[in-house]
Structure 1
Amino acid sequence: MRLTGVLTVASAFIAAGATARAETLREALMIAYRTNPSLTAARAGLRATDEGVPIAKAGARPTVSATADYQEFVVRSANSFSAPLRATNASANVSLPIYQGGRVRNGIKAADARVEAGRETLRGTEADVFTAIVSVYMDVIRDSATVDLNRQNVRVLETNLQASRDRFEIGDLTRTDVAQSEARLELARGQLELAEAQLGASLENYLRFVGVPARDLEQPPELPNLPGTAQDALATALDRNPQLLAAQADAKAAGYDVRVAAAARLPRLSAVASGNYNNYLGSLVSTIPGRTFLQAQRTATVGLSATIPLYQGGLPAAQVRRAQALSSQALEQIVFVERRVVADTRAAFLRHRATLAVVRSSQSAVSANELAVEGVRAENSVGNRTVLEVLNAEQELLNSRVQLVTAQRDAYVAGFALLAATGRAEARDLGLFGDELFAPRLGDHAPRLPGGSYGPVDEAAGSTTAANESSGPS
């Protein structure tokens, strides 16, 4: 059952449907969910992991084999009493495992645990990709605003320079004032070039992660119901963080591997049956007068086959020790990942709170600098302020506005990173596709994408890249 906060997050992200070129954050996430190579590669890796379950189950199922031969006797022995010219042979063998020492049963459990770990790893990859997309999305918005602010600043400084030159012509200002205006304008043009270069880099990063060019990006929706305290964030992270859940599943699988290795010391019992059919196609004749042979014969056997290990050169003992060491490593990995999750979650919470404080202070700074610029300009008009003081005030206003858009970007990215740390930043949590997601169906291990596919969806053609289902009996 989903948390109330998750439902609120989903409702906040529900907007217009995705188009060929993303304009909203939700559309960008939807496109990346279908086409991002990191996600599609992770899904392919999960499908490969899923195949471990039917592979493990195959060890408990009967095996049936059949062979058929046709032979022509080109050279025959001169001392043989019978000399067939040709022969056909067919045989069938059936083997049913009865007792494997627990190897198959524990192997299936280990494979199931690895599928669970693979799904959690895919969740982590999805959250990482979405966090990166949110970051590049906000980078484009921030850098676009920065370019606009710098362009506006260049226009203001151009107007100031023209006014300074006009006042110099009438003797109201000195040549020094004009030079200061010119210098500040050239610096502003240089800052504009840097801002445009940074925007170009952000647009390339957006194309890299989303797969389509950015165009008229809208402001993203708010991130509602973020954890109110560090303790709430930590409790949610310990319960839902995919990295921690994957480590726990890996440790479970390693524990079953120890039992699989120990089963190599135990006997194995199978029921076997075989049947054979030989036919000499009428070519079996006797060199003894009056002696004839049957041209065809059939045989069938049933029984039990037991394999009892007596001495294996120390191989099972070494395999058990190795499995036990790997199991210990997996248990220690849980502790390591848990500590990292705790540290990352607390750091994300503190970073988000800090960036919100920076946003508030930057807003206050912008308001104060706007008032200061108006005052300095008014005082300059009556001769109480110099041109340099006006230029400095305008630069302070520009810096505070750039700091504000940067702080807003940092706050949003930090908030989404906090959602990711608590395990609530995936497509299901954000309500991108409703219930049609890359998720396992009940009763098998085959994940699906929207539209019921097993691979990336081609929206233009409406086709899917499908992979074979891999379901096995329970």
Structure 2
Amino acid sequence: MGRYTSLVAVAAILAAPASAETLRDALAKAYRDNPTITAGRAQQRATDENVPIARAAGRPGVSATGSITDNLIRSGNSFTTPERIAQTGISLNVPVFSGGAVRNSVRAAETRVAAGQAGLRGTEATTFTNVVAAYNNVLRDEAIVSLNAQNVKVLETNLKAAQDRFQVGDLTRTDVAQSEARLSLARAQLQGAEASLIGSRENYVQLVGEAPGALEPPPPLPNLPASPDSAVDVALQENPDLIASRRQRDATRYDVKVAQASRLPTVGVGVGENYTSYLGSLGAGSGLGIGQNGAATSIGLNVSLPIFQGGRPAAQIRQAQALRSQAIENATAAERQVIAQTRSAYAMWRSAQEVIKSSETAVSANRLSLEGVRAENSVGNRTILDILNAEQELLNSQVTLVSARRDAYVAGFALLAAMGRAEARDLGLDGGPLYNPADNYDAVRNRISDFATGPAPSPIAPTTAKVPAQSATVTRPLDPELDTAVDRSAPLTTGEHTPNR
């Protein structure tokens, strides 16, 4: 019941109005067109085919042969050597006993199919986490560009005011130089922020396949764990990568049995039908009534008992045992990684939550500080440098707040992904039915036709070559929580009513 409630909650919070591009839209596009996911699906379909391949070794086989021979040179008195001979034959071979090799090969293949299906879930979850990060990176960098652009405009106003005050002798050349330096630094920071925004938008294009439009703020993440221990408990049961590693480990147990079967006898039943025609050339001209056609039917039991194979079976068994040991250790390593990943994601999420609280307090305090410094400057109690420092401190706290919000959301989603609860079925993605890898497996697992091939491969994920290069243009209004009500216009800094210092 708790798992179902979690799925409904995640799907519900990702639903949003269709007026703007939402996180749910971006995830749906990536789920449909991301080449990492579509390639993973193709890989899984290839893995599915290992089951009918393994089963084919235990199924009857039918083969036919045919030949025509023309004897160009014969002895002069030969009546039994024909000039020509045509032969056809058909044989049926039925494996009866293979020492368990076929049975265990099928079981190993089926287990690896289950591992592949879990691995595909892990690929989807990893891609979704990358999309969430790219989506929030764009939002963060757009806000940072807007904040830096606002800061440049304010510093341009400050510089103009400082130059005016210098003209009337109210400020020194040093004050003007400080304003010029701070404005140059702000412009450089704006250039860096714009470059980061372009990079984030291009990364979004790479993952989603389309340029980011007007992105809506992401919805809150539900059902985050109360402690790292509870998160780890869920992750150990539901993390898809861990499940895949455990299935791969289980498959190697059957591989060892397959290798052991190479030392056991094999038994099969063979049935054959052969037809021979001498095309009227046997004993031609001898006057003897010799039959020109013949047929034969055979049935037999084939038994093969290996006695000595040069040490090959023992080497194969040792090899399979070593690979099983490797798979066991890999499963343990995967478990450790999931535990560390889950705990780290939880710690980053909690830390970002605390940074958000501190940054919100810092933004409020720096806003009040800037307002006070500007007011005190207007009566001659503060210098231009004090104003510049206050402006920079406010900008820094605002950037820290924006980054912390991004970090908290991405870490929270990564935490859900580590717990196995950030997959397509959890997110309620639109755009058609969800891809079910079991459908292909069910369709091919029992196929016996040699001619039931699949459709010719064709591209699924679209190219992004025609997507225009991204720019740093920001049309989104700045979040009111990040804006400031402080009057930063020129009259505050002209010093019109300020005594000379």
TM-score when normalising by structure 2:
0.85
CA contact under 8 A between 2:345 and 2:411: conserved in structure 1? yes
Equivalent residue runs for 1:421-436 within 5 Å: 421-433=418-430, 435-436=433-434
**Distance in 2 of aligned mates of 1:87 and 1:145:** 88
Amino acid at match of 1:11: A
Which runs of no fewer than 5 residues in structure 1 stay unpaired? 461-474
**Distance in 1 of aligned mates of 2:80 and 2:334:** 76
Equivalent residue runs for 1:262-277 within 5 Å: 262-277=260-275
Equivalent residue runs for 1:261-410 within 5 Å: 261-286=259-284, 288-289=286-287, 291-410=288-407
Give CA-to-partner distance per residue, 1:405-439, whole Å, 9 cap, x none.
11111111111111111112222221114742243
Give the corresponding residue for 2:496: none
Against the structure 1 CA distance between its residues 446 and 266, is the aligned structure 2 distance closer, same or farther, given a 3 Å change threshold? closer
Q: Secondary structure at the match of 1:65?
A: strand
Q: Secondary structure at the match of 1:217?
A: coil
Give the corresponding residue for 2:107: 109
Amino acid at match of 2:178: Q
2:160 to 154, 159, 162: 162
Amino acid at match of 1:43: R
Against the structure 1 CA distance between its residues 342 and 124, is the aligned structure 2 distance closer, same or farther, given a 3 Å change threshold? same
**Distance in 1 of aligned mates of 2:459 and 2:350:** 37
2:73 to 65, 75, 80: 75
1:15: how far off?
A: 3.9
Amino acid at match of 1:141: L
**Distance in 1 of aligned mates of 2:17 and 2:73:** 82
Alignment coverage as a number of residue pairs? 452
2:91 to 84, 90, 93: 93
1:153 to 132, 151, 165: 151
CA contact under 8 A between 2:209 and 2:462: conserved in structure 1? no
Give the corresponding residue for 1:469: none
Give the corresponding residue for 2:11: 10
CA contact under 8 A between 1:230 and 1:349: conserved in structure 2? yes
More displaced, 84-93 or 409-418? Answer: 84-93
Equivalent residue runs for 1:180-219 within 5 Å: 180-219=178-217
Task: Provide the alpha-carbon RMSD of the alignment.
Answer: 2.4
TM-score when normalising by structure 1:
0.90
Equivalent residue runs for 1:235-246 within 5 Å: 235-246=233-244
Against the structure 1 CA distance between its residues 406 and 455, is the aligned structure 2 distance closer, same or farther, given a 3 Å change threshold? farther
1:134 to 132, 140, 147: 132
Q: Secondary structure at the match of 2:57?
A: helix
More displaced, 317-326 or 107-116? Answer: 317-326
**Distance in 2 of aligned mates of 1:270 and 1:190:** 80
Against the structure 1 CA distance between its residues 225 and 162, is the aligned structure 2 distance closer, same or farther, given a 3 Å change threshold? same
Q: Secondary structure at the match of 1:441?
A: helix
1:161: how far off?
A: 1.5
Give CA-to-partner distance per residue, 1:219-238, whole Å, 9 cap, x none.
11221111121122111100
1:171: how far off?
A: 3.3
Amino acid at match of 1:45: Q
1:179 has 2:180 as partner: no
1:389: how far off?
A: 0.8
Give the corresponding residue for 2:31: 33
1:59: how far off?
A: 1.1
**Distance in 2 of aligned mates of 1:39 and 1:176:** 59
Amino acid at match of 2:8: L
More displaced, 330-339 or 144-153? Answer: 330-339
CA contact under 8 A between 2:85 and 2:277: conserved in structure 1? yes
Give CA-to-partner distance per residue, 1:11-60, whole Å, 9 cap, x none.
2223467x9xx932222222222222222222222122111101100011
Against the structure 1 CA distance between its residues 378 and 106, is the aligned structure 2 distance closer, same or farther, given a 3 Å change threshold? same
Amino acid at match of 2:5: T
Which runs of no fewer than 5 residues in structure 2 stay unpaired? 446-454, 464-501
More displaced, 280-289 or 368-377? Answer: 280-289
Give CA-to-partner distance per residue, 1:56-90, whole Å, 9 cap, x none.
00011000000122233333332421353333211
Identity over aligned pairs, percent: 53
CA contact under 8 A between 2:55 and 2:106: conserved in structure 1? yes
CA contact under 8 A between 2:33 and 2:462: conserved in structure 1? no
**Distance in 1 of aligned mates of 2:194 and 2:347:** 32
Amino acid at match of 2:91: N
CA contact under 8 A between 1:47 and 1:446: conserved in structure 2? no
**Distance in 2 of aligned mates of 1:185 and 1:459:** 44
Against the structure 1 CA distance between its residues 11 and 445, is the aligned structure 2 distance closer, same or farther, given a 3 Å change threshold? farther
Amino acid at match of 2:12: S
CA contact under 8 A between 2:70 and 2:84: conserved in structure 1? yes
Give CA-to-partner distance per residue, 1:347-398, whole Å, 9 cap, x none.
1111110011111111111111111111111111112211111111111111
Give CA-to-partner distance per residue, 1:185-213, whole Å, 9 cap, x none.
11111111111111122222222222222
**Distance in 2 of aligned mates of 1:208 and 1:428:** 23
**Distance in 2 of aligned mates of 1:341 and 1:441:** 29
Amino acid at match of 1:48: A
Give the corresponding residue for 1:258: 256
1:157: how far off?
A: 1.0
Q: Secondary structure at the match of 1:221?
A: coil
Against the structure 1 CA distance between its residues 16 and 73, is the aligned structure 2 distance closer, same or farther, given a 3 Å change threshold? farther
CA contact under 8 A between 2:114 and 2:244: conserved in structure 1? yes
CA contact under 8 A between 1:428 and 1:437: conserved in structure 2? no
CA contact under 8 A between 1:428 and 1:435: conserved in structure 2? no
**Distance in 2 of aligned mates of 1:378 and 1:430:** 51
